[in-house]
Amino acid sequence: MCPAFVSPPQRFIAPDDNTHALLVFDFITNIERLILEPAFHGNAKEFGMVMPIPSKPELLEADEKLFNELEDLTNPFQRRGGFVTTQSASAKDVSEGVTIIEVKDVGDFTATTLTAENTQSLLNWLKEHNYVPNPSDEENYDYYVKRGGYFFVALKVNMEKAKVDKDGNLHGKLRPIEFKFQSSEPMLPIRIMRSDMEDMSFTLYTLSDAPYYIPGSKVLFSRSLSKNDLEKAPTLKKYGETGDWLVRSHLKFQFSKIRTDLFLERGDGSLLVNNPNQFKIVNPTLLSENTGILKEEGPELYLGNEKMKNDLKILSNIIEKVRNDSQSSLAANEKIKSDLKTLSKDVELIEDNFEKGLINVEDKYENRVFLLSIVIGVLIGIVIGVLINSRFKIFKKQK
């Protein structure tokens, strides 16, 4: 995800395609560390960003080598190549309905962390400090204010450190910034991005004790880190250790379709991708239109209950095909039809239990082995029955 970019009137700025982020999640402490490397372009001498955070964040400067090392580690085939502020906010600033929590310089930014009692108070504070929100921002801020407990981080960019061409246009990457905060589950506050901007690609890395993925995303890399990996990407030692799982996902957002924040799903060891050429589209059936993520084409990988449901779907198709064959060539074989009917009911019962939540991820291997044992046994019986029945018919005809 990226924060909400805003710029002065009559000037244009926008995030570059394919912004990068690293999400590190500790499931024991429920601490999330979200490191962003914003990329931007446009005609604006001064601009900034607003970032909503679900709990009070700690802001830290991240190592600028981080995303180059992640790129080299996960994609060895190629290398990577606002706010108008007339005054700086201070901890003594007081606006009705807004509380300033902290003001600090972090890398390329001056960051003001604040809370707001209502959306209008937040908008008033932004305008008073010469921040110019876009027309769609009011609805986005309202989404977070009404949920309560959210902090807003207003980031002003130090333009002296940014890359500016002779016409004053911005082209470049800002040094990464880290947001460290409490969260009950790994999440990306993407609702702040809802706008009429053009579609944008986004690269998300996740690092945790297990693989975390986004339904419908294109996974380009997914495996546990080795000692050799950390030697190749030493910056990662600050965020993880040998055995932690690194996942690289590619997302493409349609900003106008975003209606909610994005929450990641916990995977298992079956999510294994060693390089981008082996990419997988993970659990596409769970892709929510409210995230604004555009569906991509490619080989699909089903995890957890979705894996079992997909297996059941395949088995149902096999059963239907065998049933049709039995009706056309073995209509007299009542035993085969009875077995198929029983198996169909078993599949329907398991599917129904999935929908009711009576079967969970932890049960998947036991249920899958049990179900496949039944299916294999029945199908072997069907094949034998077909062969015997066919031989018997041929024998009768020959007599």
For residues 337 and 34, give the distance between their C-alpha atoms in angstroms, rounded to a whole number.
57
Instruction: Write out the H or E segment, with its range, that includes residue 26.
Output: strand 19-26
Stretch 4-20: mean pLDDT, rounded? 55
For residues 91 and 361, give the distance between their C-alpha atoms in angstroms, rounded to a whole number.
48
Q: Is 137 left (phi over 0), alpha (psi -120 to 50) or beta?
A: alpha
Q: What is the pLDDT of residue 13?
A: 47
Q: What is the pLDDT of residue 323?
A: 64
Is the model more confident about 129 or about 225?
A: 225
Q: What is the pLDDT of residue 337?
A: 65
Is the model more confident about 171 or about 122?
A: 122
Vertex 257: Cα angle to 288 and 181 (nearest 5): 70
For residues 109 and 362, give the distance between their C-alpha atoms in angstroms, rounded to a whole number.
45
Name the range with the highest mean pLDDT among 39-48, 93-102, 272-281: 272-281
Residues 6+ apart with CB under 8 A from 178: 33, 34, 35, 36, 59, 60, 61, 62
Sequence-separated contacts (24+) of 94-102 with Cβ below 8 Å: 95/121, 95/124, 95/125, 95/128, 96/121, 96/124, 97/121, 97/122, 97/124, 97/125, 98/122, 98/124, 98/125, 101/56, 101/151, 102/59
Encoded tokens for 298: 């490619």
Stretch 121-126: mean pLDDT, rounded? 92
pLDDT band at 83, cuts 50/70/90? very low
pLDDT in tens, 20-42: 999 999 999 999 999 998 766 66
Vertex 188: Cα angle to 281 and 155 (nearest 5): 135
Q: What is the pLDDT of residue 96?
A: 84
pLDDT in tens, 320-378: 666 666 665 554 566 666 666 666 666 666 666 655 555 544 444 445 545 555 655 66
Percent of the chain with pLDDT over 70: 62
Q: What is the mean pLDDT of the chain?
A: 78
DSSP 3-state of 383: helix
Q: What is the pLDDT of residue 294?
A: 92
Q: What is the pLDDT of residue 235?
A: 96
Residues 6+ apart with CB under 8 A from 89: 100, 103, 110, 112, 129, 154
Is the model more confident about 227 or about 108?
A: 227
Q: What is the pLDDT of residue 228?
A: 95
Q: What is the pLDDT of residue 42?
A: 61
Q: What is the pLDDT of residue 205?
A: 97
Is the model more confident about 160 or about 182?
A: 182
Q: What is the pLDDT of residue 376?
A: 59
Instruction: Write out the H or E segment, with its range, that includes residue 53.
Output: strand 48-53
Global pTM value: 0.73
Closest CA to 261 of 6, 52, 10, 19: 52
pLDDT in tens, 257-273: 999 999 998 988 888 99
